[in-house]
Amino acid sequence: MELKVWDKEGKVVDTITLEDRALSDEDYHLLYLSVKAFLDNQRLGTAKTKSRGEVRGGGRKPWRQKGTGRARHGSIRSPIWRGGGVVFGPAPRSYYHSLSKKERKKALILALQEKINQGLVRLVEEIDFESPRTKKAREFLALLSGDEARKILVVTEDSRENVRRAFSNLPDVRVKPVGELTTYFIVDSDLVVMERGAFSLLWRQEDERSTTNID
């Protein structure tokens, strides 16, 4: 498999040879676990309902025990009453869980591999702008994608303020340095535009079973 390298003018300047690799069911399951862990860790876990002991009122018996013909009740805040407490309702908790470092690295590589297999990765020699202009950023993406409506992930080798500001006004574009990249960001994108240097840093984490020849 060959992956083309583009310049900022939209011209192919080089190619990278990669080993063809199809993902297995175990690989897809690891991707699922990685994405699930990321989404779960975004949850605040602040949902809370009141039990019958926390609901205000209901301190007296609503009516006498016998002689009324009605069912026996001790409090109007019983869970079977409207406005009463909630049985087994949610309580504040942490949803945090994580994968091992090795699993996270592998999931990241697998997500990128799947995008490459689908032809949804564009390697660029360098992504940089002299000034943060939205027009320049839009034109740059149009050369690579041809479809500005898609969700695009831009990955740089390091954090660059000009690049971040140039794409900040484009609602369907997310910019991340390779050090902040996660499996979710790759899976959630329709197109990955990545600097060659960022790709080289990330692909070094691939296990020894996969060989990559970068000229």
CA 10, CA 159: separation in Å to the nearest integer?
23
Q: Count the alpha carbons within 13 Å of 44 in the hemisphere toward its beta carbon.
A: 3
pTM for the full predicted model: 0.80
All domains in the chain, ordered by first residue:
2-43+98-213 (3.40.1370.10), 49-89 (no CATH)
Instruction: List the pLDDT tens digit at each of the 215 positions of the chain.
Output: 788 888 877 788 888 888 888 889 999 999 999 999 999 999 999 999 999 989 998 888 999 999 999 999 999 999 999 999 999 999 999 999 999 999 999 999 999 999 999 889 999 988 888 888 888 888 888 888 765 558 999 999 888 888 899 999 988 899 999 999 999 999 999 999 999 888 988 877 554 444 444 44
CA distances from 174 to 61, 76, 153, 154, 156 (A): 60, 53, 5, 6, 11
Q: CA 123 to CA 157: how far, in whole Å?
A: 12
